[in-house]
Amino acid sequence: MEDAAISPDGSSIASVVHTNGARRVFVIKDGKVLFNGASGETKVRAIEWADNDTVLVTSSATVPMFGFAASKYEMSGTIILPMRAGNESGMVFSKSKGIARTTRGRYGIRTIAGRTVGYFGGIALEVDGFNTRWRHGRTTLYAVDMASNRARAVAQPAQEDHYRDWLIDRAGNVAVFLDVAENSGV
């Protein structure tokens, strides 16, 4: 077993196991398998519960990047695995053309008006008709409805050459943010 997480109500276990040369994601509730799927070639970095019915699997992969300083980068992504019929599965941001399909950190999970909302860092893209273009690599904070996988921006990225971190309060608002200059650390 590489990683495991217990659901908030304690009735289910999600785990990443390596068996017969392959990595698999298992979800078990009351001794019954709810989900059993291969994780593919990506490197699974974490498995966790967003709520009692939603598993989040974060993985990374080395991907080619053309026109950047390096030819390859390690990019992370988070997959939503619903255990409740009717909820959307897929990569966080996959329904949002204006956001790259990579996650740059998770800043909390909150229940807002009865809905589970995840707060993830993402890379905003310029959208021009059917095309998208890279704006910059700075992280924007998004709120993602876990049942529908719909995202909305809740905080802007830091200025050039700065890193930003956020803390989210119970109501789903940015309570505190921290900006750090990459050159000086201030």
> Assign residue 109 a region: left if phi > 0, alpha if psi is -120 to 50, beta otherwise?
beta
* 6 in Cβ contact with 12 (< 8 Å): yes
Q: 7 is in which domain, residue-wise?
A: 3-181
With bands split at pLDDT 50, 70 and 90, how would you rate the model's confidence at 68? low
At residue 72, the pLDDT reads: 78
The count of structural domains within the chain is 1
Give which of 133, 153, 134 is closest to 142, Cα–Cα. Answer: 153
Residue 100, pLDDT above cutoff 70 = yes
* 112 in Cβ contact with 141 (< 8 Å): no
Mean pLDDT of 163-184: 94
At residue 67, the pLDDT reads: 65
Could you tell me if residue 35 is inside a domain?
A: yes
Residues 112-154: tens digit of each pLDDT? 999 999 999 999 998 888 888 777 889 999 999 999 999 999 9
Could you tell me if residue 77 is inside a domain?
A: yes
Could you tell me if residue 186 is inside a domain?
A: no
Could you tell me if residue 104 is inside a domain?
A: yes
At residue 69, the pLDDT reads: 66
Task: Quote the pTM value.
Answer: 0.89
